[in-house]
Amino acid sequence: MRNQFFPFLWVLLMIHGPFLCCTTPDPQWNISGSQNIRFATYYSNNMVLQRSPQRAIIWGYSTHSNTNLTIKIDDIIVLKTTSYFHPVINASIWTVKLPAKEAGGPHVITVQSSLSTIRLVNVLFGDVWICSGQSNMQFTTMMAFNGSNEAKGSIHYPHIRVFTTAYMAANQPEYDVKCALEQWSVASPEALASSAWMYFSAICWMYGRRLYEEHRIPIGLVSSTYGGTPIEGWSSPEVLNKCPETKISFTKSSFWNAMIHPLLNMTIHGIIWYQGESNSQHPQQYSCLFPAMVADWRQKFNEGSYNQTSSTFPFGFVQLAPYNKLQFPALRWAQTANKGYVPNEKLPNVFMAVAMDLPDPTSPYGSVHPRYKEDIADRLIKGLKSLEYNTINNAYQGPFPQTFLIKNGEIEIHYNRVLDIRSQKGFQISCAKHNECRNSMWLSIESSTNENQTSIFLSSNVTCYGECVCDIRYAWQDSPCPLKKCPIYSQGTNLPAAPFWHRF
């Protein structure tokens, strides 16, 4: 079954082979004089740095310690600093927090020593987002439905910039990006339309474009993904120590070390995440690993950016799309820390996009890789809005149960939103005699609704034959419904209800 999630064996070979096409240090820097300083590898022309009120971090290397440096923005001196020897990196480096800058640009950032001048040109200040996870986040724009139109239209978004790391693993934490598939680029068909699985991430681009249309400020998108990877590989040793029952050991922390740890100095606004397929055989561990990873990434990005990245930055994820082979329902539940909704006490300031109603059985990339990435991006944006408006009961989330009541053999489920009912199916209950729920079986049950479309009713007498109701669950299948035809949506917003499991 594991091979279902490793369709990129050629990528694995490329990573360790000499023919991996990636940029290495010194790709686009404008340098004059005898070079004795340079930027870290993920700084280049055309990049986006985080806008105010946060302060962007820039850093780089010097051939010697105690090198005096002057930093300018648009030829105005803003800071001075001195390089120092970093024992862990084993190199002389320099680091500065730029003054907070409002959204806009372009700007020129200059760093000068007595011997060298290096510059970043066409730099914008805006919001920086990291997009990470496995193959469904790696899934590139041209592979998605409407991808060619997205790529063609990208030329109209010069204030969106994109960057793609190479697919890398490491046994120890790296402090700089060793290799990039795509250095910072202005949005264009060429920047988005590389070979399949290379660049640029479809969801990342579509989400970023919608962000730009919503806020009209520059957007920087960093894609750091690796197909077929479990969450253990993206988790630091500290996370793994908090969840000692983890089952997958061969990739522990290797992608964290190579693809996330090097980015910690970057001041960012938020992260979106699409991963979980490779953990579906052991879903019970995910409910520990995922919240621990989110909290750990927040802490470490905050520390790495000298407290400039918020320690509670928004973190969005995609709940698993349909697939008929593994334990996806349990993994979807675990993605919410066994709550069924976000944000919650274990996943604060987290938003999600439900994707279980987007089956794509004829996808040429396998049905585990649905091409409906535009729908996912739309739902992620609405999820982000739900955080920005600071309430769980707003128009930007799908409906979720608020109360469960059993009375006279009838189960009433009251939802937090007006419902759009598209089918009476989708619910299951388990029945048993007293104290025998552990051995109960699941039975399908049809539903009805009240006049104001806020409650669902199910007759347990018909199904349980006088026995007690133990549990009720909704949409608890690998692929629970046809395309956009799950039983319950929110009225007006077309957002699907997430799956849930409730024990009475």
User: Where do the structural domains in the chain lie, given as residue ranges?
Assistant: 2-16+124-139+163-183+210-352, 401-503
| DSSP per-residue codes, 358-399 | ---TT-TT-TTS-S-HHHHHHHHHHHHHHHHTT-TTSTTS--
Q: Write down the pLDDT at residue 15.
A: 34
- The kind and range of the H/E element at 240 are helix 237-242
Beta strand ranges found along 201-263 (DSSP E): 219-225
- DSSP reduced 3-state for 203: helix
Alpha carbon dihedral 481, 482, 488, 490, in 10-degree steps, equals 140
Cis peptide before 106 (omega within 30 of 0): yes
For 81, phi then psi, to 5°, come to: -150, 175
Q: Tell me the C-alpha to C-alpha distance, in Å, between residue 191 and each of 143, 200, 309.
A: 14, 7, 27
What would you measure as the largest C-alpha separation in the chain, in angstroms? 87
Tens-digit pLDDT profile for the chain (504 aa)? 333 443 333 333 333 332 344 555 443 334 444 568 999 999 999 999 999 999 999 999 999 999 999 999 999 999 999 999 999 999 999 999 999 999 999 999 999 999 899 999 999 999 999 999 999 999 999 999 999 999 999 999 999 999 999 999 999 999 999 999 999 999 999 999 888 899 999 999 999 999 999 999 999 999 999 999 999 999 999 999 999 776 666 678 999 999 999 999 999 999 999 999 999 988 989 999 999 999 999 999 999 999 999 999 999 999 999 998 768 999 999 999 999 999 999 999 999 999 999 999 999 999 999 999 999 999 999 999 988 876 555 668 899 999 999 888 889 999 988 999 999 999 999 888 776 777 778 888 888 887 778 999 988 766 677 678 889 999 999 999 999 999 999 998 899 999 999 988
- Sign of the torsion angle spanned by Cα atoms 138, 141, 144, 150: positive
Residue 466 region by backbone torsions, left for phi larger than 0, else alpha for psi between -120 and 50, else beta: left
Q: Which residues contact residue 71 at a Cβ distance below 8 angstroms, ignoring those fewer than 6 apart?
A: 58, 77, 78, 79, 80, 81, 96, 98, 109, 110, 111, 112
The H-or-E segment that residue 161 falls in is strand 160-165
Structure tokens given for 419: 């419902």
Per-residue pLDDT, 386: 87
Alpha carbons 318 and 274: distance in angstroms, whole number = 5
| Cβ-based neighbour number of residue 107 at 10 Å | 18
Q: What is the pLDDT of residue 139?
A: 97
Residues 6+ apart with CB under 8 A from 400: 340, 341, 415, 416, 417, 497, 498, 500
What architecture is domain 2-16+124-139+163-183+210-352?
Answer: 3-Layer(aba) Sandwich (3.40)
CA–CA distance, 164 with 36 (Å, rounded to integer): 27
Residue 18: the pLDDT is: 29
Of the candidates 282, 283, 274, 279, the one whose C-alpha atom is nearest the C-alpha of residue 369 is 274
- pLDDT confidence of residue 194: 83
Residue with tokens 């009838």: 410
Residue 109 has phi, psi (to 5 degrees) of: -110, 125
The residue behind tokens 């928004």 is 314
> What are the tokens at 442?
């699941």
Are 441 and 477 a contacting pair, CB within 8 Å? no
Closest to 310 measured CA to CA, from 348, 339, 253: 348
3-state secondary structure of 335: helix
Q: Which of 147, 163, 170, 138 is nearest to 16 (CA)?
A: 170
Peptide bond into 200 cis (omega under 30): yes
